[in-house]
Amino acid sequence: MLTTFGEYIRKHRAEKGLTLTQLAAKIGMDSANLSKIENGRRSFDEKRLKSLSQALEIDIEEIKMEYFSDLFAHKLYHSNCSSETLVLAEKKVKYLAQKSAKQGKITF
Amino acid sequence: MLTTFGEYIRKHRAEKGLTLTQLAAKIGMDSANLSKIENGRRSFDEKRLKSLSQALEIDIEEIKMEYFSDLFAHKLYHSNCSSETLVLAEKKVKYLAQKSAKQGKITF
DNA sequence: TTTGACTTGTCAATATTGTACAAGTGTAAA
DNA sequence: TTTACACTTGTACAATATTGACAAGTCAAA
């Protein structure tokens, strides 16, 4: 199912039968702010991804994927960039990996 | 050619035969900071993309693509996310577009 | 009409980022 | 040499953005 990150949290919170206050407490934040996050009025702090994955018992890799794809999608959407940008991004990830591998060799 | 955004600026600056100081002046910034940007020690401020595109006489769409793909690539690389994330991101862009189209209808 | 879940606005505190400037390296021409 | 120029790097300070906290609200069910 396709959702924004806020919708994703809300869906999983509902599945666990947690209130905003309960989930907020589990991840150490104010329930009013969590409400804003679920409604897309505020962004979720990357540092709390791990604790969110534990509170909702979701695989951290899945949560990260939801989180970052949401981030990228919003940036793309608001900057009116072609989605070709994502293709380029994938190539650049490989370029970065290769580059740091080379640098690794040099230091030895 | 595949490059980081810093390398991309440097390449085009060289093609135009501009010094750091000259290009920095054109886009209203300190040459020391531009040097850091070209060397990947600092990020380029999105607000200056337009003026950069004018200074280097490059299509703004191309520059935006280079800029955002670089941003995404670094995030992905440092967060160790699967590149599937980018596929999801593309779907989410469409989801956002569709969502705002619906909201648009409602307001009328 | 009370309670609990949620939403929204505001603002100080905090964190992040940008800017400017000083002081450096390296190189090449005078 | 030494002067000049392109570039790099470190580090404060300023400007911005994000976060946390709380008050005050809506709404629905009991």
Q: Which nucleotides of D are covered by protein (CB under 7 A)?
A: 5-10, 18-24
Contacts of B69 in chain A (CB under 8 A): 85-86, 88-89, 91-92
pLDDT band with cut points at 50, 70 and 90 for residue B106: very low
Q: Which of residues 17-46 of A touch strand D (CB under 7 A)?
A: 29-30, 32-33, 42-43, 45
Per-residue pLDDT reduced to its tens digit, A5-37: 999 999 999 999 999 999 999 999 999 999 999
Q: Is residue A108 part of a domain?
A: no
Measure B33 CA to C22 C1' (Å).
14
Distance CA(A56)–CA(A13), nearest Å, equals: 7
Which CATH number covers residue A41? 1.10.260.40
Query: What is the number of structural domains in chain A?
Result: 1
Q: Is the CB of B43 under 7 A from strand D?
A: no
| pLDDT reported for residue B54 | 97
Could you tell me if residue A11 is inside a domain? yes
Q: Show Cβ contacts of residue A50 under 8 Å, excluding neighbours closer than 6 positions.
A: A60
Question: Does B106 fall in a domain?
Answer: no
pLDDT of B14-40, one tens digit each?
Answer: 999 999 999 999 999 999 999 999 999
Do the domain assignments include residue B65?
yes
Range of the domain at B44: 5-81
**At A72, which amino acid appears?**
F
For the CA of A47 and the C1' of C15, the distance in angstroms is 13
Predicted pLDDT at B104? 53
- CB B21 within 7 Å, strand D: yes
Confirm whether A86 is domain-assigned.
no
Q: Give one DSSP letter per residue of B32-76, joined into a string.
A: HHHHHHHTTSSPPPGGGHHHHHHHHT--HHHHHHHHHHHHHHHHH
* In-domain check, residue B105: no
Please determine, for residue B2, whether its predicted confidence score (pLDDT) is greater than 90: no
Asked, for residue A104, whether it belongs to a domain, the answer is: no
Mean pLDDT of B4-18: 96
Q: B35 CA to C25 C1', in Å? A: 14
Written as six digits, the tokens of B67 are 């800029």
Tens of pLDDT, residue by residue over B63-85, are 999 999 999 999 999 999 998 99
CB contact under 8 A, A76 and B93: yes
Query: Is B9 a domain residue?
Result: yes
Contacts 24+ apart (CB under 8 A), B22-30: B23/B55, B23/B56, B26/B51, B26/B55, B27/B51, B27/B52, B27/B55
